A and B are shown apart, each in its own frame.
Chain A
């Protein structure tokens, strides 16, 4: 019976996800004009996806402990939505909703893959939420944060450099510190510092000298990351910088020059580093390298392809066969068991978060916050693009995580902070408008 229910639940889950996504798109188009009904509908959809996912898990495994675990998750998600609403009435509910939706999908998929890991993840998420609740307040109250430009730049570069020198080697990349049993990946947090740094630079001036100076600092970040073999982060930093320069300077020449430099950098990287070449070979023809370099991407493609449009159903697939499934390849696991259609909707939800951020940036008057929000938006969406594109063979695999969904403390905490900063900027906009009213 469990199989059949799991088989059916995937359609219902998909239907709720479709309604949720539709509301997201309506929310983006209509902006703040829509009523409360939409958010309530979204929250209901989110809880239904979470509930049905766990119903299938409990039936398949027959483990009562999962029900208790589910209960804790419900409390956490509910508390996050309620507290946020009460503490920051001016914050954006679409973004907060999307965050909870992604987290509940993450809970379902991670629990299905590994119970132990999902419990760890739950604790980390709970901690991150507590941190996240304070962040908008900090952004709102501490205006001096705008003036710490060089602190951000210095801290970020230093953190990256220390990891490069001391860090342990994970999967051929020097990207993490290990303190006790906790492995900490600074590049996830430096992304945010970097956006603050560049925003600070351009808020001061967008003259040629300032652009050059920022370019040198950005190049330094990227270079350290390339040396640490953290190619995914290196590309993210580069694209974020390029986007921010373009937005801040309104100069198409910089965009063009940056793209050319990027292409040149890719070429040099390809020639210089064998691990870059391996990734590219594995991307171009994973099938002939199916035993080694192409293993991860082919396993990911098997998962997505076998799942098909509506997936194999929770516990009906074999996601564990994909290497690093709980981190880099979580998207493929979702597509396998919950369906490609569901996975596509997930991409649109991510896109709606990004568009909400860009809309906010467009309406902020203070250029520092404007650049911060745009930069964080690009950071978020480009990371989504890298991880999903890599797993579906659109681009070479770079081994970055899917924000909120992948397993990993640094990834979740940093993305919660990222969203919380943006929510803080929603509050800033509110106060800007109050000032406008006062005129």
Chain B
């Protein structure tokens, strides 16, 4: 007893402050054990707090931008009252949309190119669509310089909202629109290596300057669905363009070797009571795989279809983003691959030549074509390059993003090779020229019981060795892809190559 007292006293003498005494007491072993649970509790609740912080960070960084662009968010009106809605520019800074402020303070949203950009740029008064919708929040925020803000406030004027610079090219958009002419349909032009959308046309179109006046007519007119952006939301039977998918599947199921394939086409293919005819009853004669694809031979592809496994085909379609949400900010509709295990052989044969219940948007076909052109990697299509303040300082930059890997490099090369054959010896020979090479696939998608009615498809890219542009075209009810869609593609490719 005496001894402990003494040592305790010595201890106190040895240390100077009460703090150190306290620390000394704290370090003794039983105390540590006693406090283990307290430490665990402290750690658990610290983790919870950092989860709060992490969750907030993720929300602000990743999800907030989309979340707040909602009609239920009353702050939109607040910001719109404070700032003049920003402009939308083409990639060369042509003004695609701007707000004109009258002397009495009334604001009008104007679109200098009228109907040329109607779907992709959209409108912002009767609800919002297109870029006007997707970039709404960015255009009503203002990151103007401090000096300007002070000046505006002193003059009791609104601040300038931030401007949106798109990836769209005015001359390409004009070419695409002219080439499509009076037909209904859609054209998408993208850059395969980045996913940049260079042009996006949908017809019939409307003049967004007059949206308030024509609104009632547009809404009532259910038949022609003018407001629908056919390029991203139109659902079409893919026709022969689906043979890209069938060819990929066949290549996969045969371990990457299709050299042994032979078929003798006499214009139709019969199997278990189903009959598949070639387009306009053409007789393609003896052909290998490449020629079957180049000539878009339905009979040969139906023959290929009989050997395919439905489950595996569906997996391939999954990988090609059928029935999958896309991460693009452009409003779109999901394409659907509708073949079930229980479906009949007839359904399978119709599906592999693109005539079954499969529904596809031009956007997805464009993405698949881009992946083929880009070594199997599909980039996310995007239409806004960056947001800048009124002075031109970049506020937010959108970088190219990889959407998914759709196929291996070998598979992409194989598809590239047979798509080149479509141009050199098949249904798209109109694209042959001295200045550049092209690859693609045509389609003539029958959409009614009358055999003559078909949508003309083309999807392809140029130049073959180093693809710079990827073009997807649909012309509604025109006829065959080779006759109606390929010439449009020709005009677009010519223009693109001239610009390079």
Q: Are B38 and A247 in contact (CB under 8 A)?
A: yes
Q: Does B398 contact A (CB under 8 A)?
A: no
CB–CB B49/A247 < 8 A? no
Q: In this assembly, does A413 line the interface, its C-beta being within 8 Å of a C-beta of chain B?
A: no
A348 touches B49 (CB 8 A): yes
Write the A404-439 contact mask toward B (1 if CB under 8 angstroms, else 0): 000000000000000000000000000001001101
Q: Which of B463-497 contact A (CB under 8 A)?
A: none
Assess the B37–A250 pair: CB atoms within 8 A.
yes
Q: How far is the CA of A243 from the CA of B18 in the complex (A)?
A: 31
Nearest Cβ in chain A — how far from B359, in angstroms? 25
Chain A: minimal CB distance from B330 (Å)? 20
Taking a contact as CB atoms under 8 Å apart, the answer to whether B53 and A344 are in contact is: yes
Q: Is the CB of A436 within 8 A of B25?
A: yes
Chain B 27-61 residues near chain A, CB threshold 8 A:
34-42, 45-46, 48-49, 51-53, 55-57, 59-60
A residues 296-312 in Cβ contact with B at 8 Å = 298-299, 301-306, 308-309, 312
Contact of A309 with B60 in the complex, beta carbons under 8 Å:
yes
Residue of B nearest to A301 (CB): B67
B68 lies within 8 A of A344 (CB)? no
* Residue from the set B22, B68, B75 with the largest chain A CB neighbour count within 10 Å: B75
Q: Can you name the residue of chain A whose Cβ is closest to the Cβ of B26?
A: A363
Q: How large is the interface on A (under 10, 10 to 19, 20 to 34, 35 or more residues)?
A: 35 or more
Q: Chain A nearest CB: distance from B37 CB in Å?
A: 5
Q: How far is the CB of A331 from chain B (nearest CB, A)?
A: 9
Q: Are A246 and B56 in contact (CB under 8 A)?
A: no
CB B378 to nearest CB in A, in angstroms, measures: 28
B214 at the interface (CB under 8 A from A): no
Known: A301-B67, A351-B46, A437-B12. A343 touches B56 (CB 8 A): yes
Contact residue among B45, B70, B149, B154 (Cβ-Cβ distance under 8 Å from A354): B45
7 A-B pairs in the complex with CB atoms less than 8 angstroms apart: A246-B41, A302-B68, A312-B75, A317-B78, A374-B41, A378-B41, A436-B21
Which residues of chain A come closer than 8 Å to B46, judged between CB atoms?
351, 355
Q: Which of B35, B52, B65, B153 has the most CB of A within 10 A?
A: B52
The reply to whether B153 and A250 form a contact with Cβ atoms under 8 Å apart is no
Which residues from chain A contact B45 at a C-beta distance below 8 Å? 351, 354, 378, 381-382, 385
Q: Given A7-B149, A32-B19, A301-B59, check contact A439 B8 (CB 8 Å).
A: yes
Q: Which of A157-188 contact B (CB under 8 A)?
A: none
From B38, B48, B55, give the contact of A362 (CB < 8 A). B38
Asked whether any CB of chain A lies closer than 8 Å to the CB of B64, the reply is yes
User: Hey, which chain B residues are within 8 Å of A316, CB to CB?
Assistant: 82
Smallest beta-carbon distance B13→chain A, Å: 12
Q: Are B67 and A1 in contact (CB under 8 A)?
A: no
**Whole-angstrom distance between the Cβ of B409 and the nearest chain A Cβ:** 40
Residues of B within 8 A of A302 (CB): 67-68, 70, 72-75
Which residues on B sit within 8 Å (CB–CB) of A351? Answer: 45-46, 49
A350 close to B (CB within 8 Å): yes
Complex interface: chain B residues within 8 A of A389 (CB): 48, 51-52, 55
A305-B59 CB under 8 A given contacts A32-B19, A247-B37? yes
Interface residues of A, Cβ cutoff 8 Å to B: 1-4, 7-8, 31-33, 243, 246-247, 250, 290, 298-299, 301-306, 308-309, 312, 316-318, 321, 335, 340, 343-344, 347-348, 350-351, 354-355, 358, 361-363, 374, 378, 381-382, 384-385, 388-389, 392-394, 433, 436-437, 439
Please, which residues of chain B bring their CB within 8 A of the CB of A2? Answer: 153
Does A392 contact B49, Cβ atoms closer than 8 Å?
no
A437 pairs with B18, CB closer than 8 A:
yes
Question: A369 to B60, alpha carbons, bound, how many Å?
Answer: 41
The reply to whether A358 and B73 form a contact with Cβ atoms under 8 Å apart is no
Complex partner residue of A305 from B21, B26, B49, B67, CB under 8 angstroms: B67
Closest approach, in angstroms, between the C-beta of B150 and any C-beta of chain A? 5
Most buried by A among B26, B46, B51, B64: B64
Overall SS of chain A's interface: helix
Nearest-neighbour CB distance to chain B for A428, whole angstroms, equals 14
Is the Cβ of B51 less than 8 Å from the Cβ of A394?
yes
User: Please, how many angstroms separate the alpha-carbon atoms of A4 and B146 in the complex?
Assistant: 8
Q: Are B149 and A4 within 8 A (Cβ)?
A: yes
Given contacts A247-B38, A354-B45, contact A347 B53 (CB under 8 A): yes
- Cα distance A439–B5 in the bound complex, in angstroms: 7
Inter-chain contacts of B36 with A (CB < 8 A): 250
Kindly count the residue-residue contacts between A and B in the assembled complex, taking CB atoms under 8 Å apart.
143
CA distance in complex: A1, B146 (Å): 11
Closest CB-CB distance, B138 to chain A, in whole Å?
12
B42 smallest CB distance to A (angstroms): 4
Residues of chain B contacted by A439 (CB below 8 angstroms):
5, 8
A384 to B51, CA, bound (A): 12
Report chain B residues within 8 Å CB of A290. Answer: 70, 72
A1 and B153 form a contact (CB under 8 A): yes
A384: B residues at CB distance < 8 A: 49
Q: 10 extra interchain contacts, Cβ-Cβ under 8 A, other than A354-B42, A382-B45?
A: A4-B153, A32-B19, A246-B37, A250-B34, A290-B70, A305-B63, A306-B68, A363-B22, A378-B41, A394-B51
- List residues of chain A with CB within 8 A of the CB of B52: 347, 385, 388-389, 392, 394
Say which residue of A247, A304, A378, A437 sits within 8 Å of B59 (CB atoms). Answer: A304
Q: Chain A CB within 10 Å — which of B48, B59, B154 has the most?
A: B48
Specify which of B18, B36, B73, B82 lies most central, judged by the most chain A CB atoms within 10 Å of its CB. Answer: B73
Q: How far is the CB of B19 from chain A (nearest CB, A)?
A: 6
* Distance A371 CA – B111 CA, assembled complex (angstroms): 69
Tell me, in angstroms, the Cα distance from A391 to B59 when the chains sit together.
12
Q: How far is the CB of B390 from chain A (nearest CB, A)?
A: 16
The smallest beta-carbon distance between B398 and chain A, in angstroms, is: 17
- Please name the residue on chain B nearest to A8 by beta carbon: B146
Determine the chain A residues whose CB is within 8 A of the CB of B8 once the complex forms: 439
Q: How far is the CA of A321 from the CA of B76 in the complex (A)?
A: 12
Report Cα–Cα, A362/B39, bound state, in Å: 9
Question: What is the CB-to-nearest-CB distance from B25 to chain A, in angstroms, rounded to a whole number?
Answer: 7
Chain A residue numbers with a CB within 8 Å of B146 are: 4, 8
Partner among A305, A361, A437 whose Cβ is within 8 Å of the Cβ of B64? A305
Q: Which residues of A contact B19 (CB under 8 A)?
A: 31-33
Report A-chain residues with C-beta under 8 Å of the C-beta of B73.
302, 306
Interchain nearest-CB distance for B153 vs A (Å): 6
Q: With A and B bound together, what is the CA distance between A299 and B45 in angstroms?
A: 27
Q: Please state if B41 and A243 are interface contacts (CB–CB under 8 Å).
A: yes
Asked, given contacts A304-B60, A392-B59, whether A318 binds B78 with beta carbons under 8 Å apart, the answer is yes
Known: A302-B68, A392-B56, A394-B55. A355 touches B42 (CB 8 A): yes
When distances are taken between beta carbons in the complex, the residues of chain B under 8 Å from A363 are 22, 25-26
The answer to whether B48 touches A385, judged by C-beta atoms less than 8 angstroms apart, is yes
Closest to A239 in B: B45
Q: Which 8 pairs of residues, A with B, have the shortest CB-CB distance?
A: A305-B64, A302-B73, A305-B68, A362-B35, A358-B42, A351-B49, A306-B75, A394-B55
How long is the Cα–Cα vector from A3 to B74 in the complex, in angstroms? 19
Enumerate chain A residues within 8 angstroms of B37, measured Cβ to Cβ. 246-247, 250
User: Which residue of A is nearest B151, CB measured?
Assistant: A4
Distance, CA A321 to CA B64, complexed state (A): 17
> Contacts A374-B41, A378-B41; is A347 near B49 (CB within 8 Å)?
yes
Q: How far is the CB of B47 from chain A (nearest CB, A)?
A: 10
CB of A318 within 8 A of CB of B74, answer: yes
Whether A308 contacts B64 by the Cβ 8 Å rule is yes
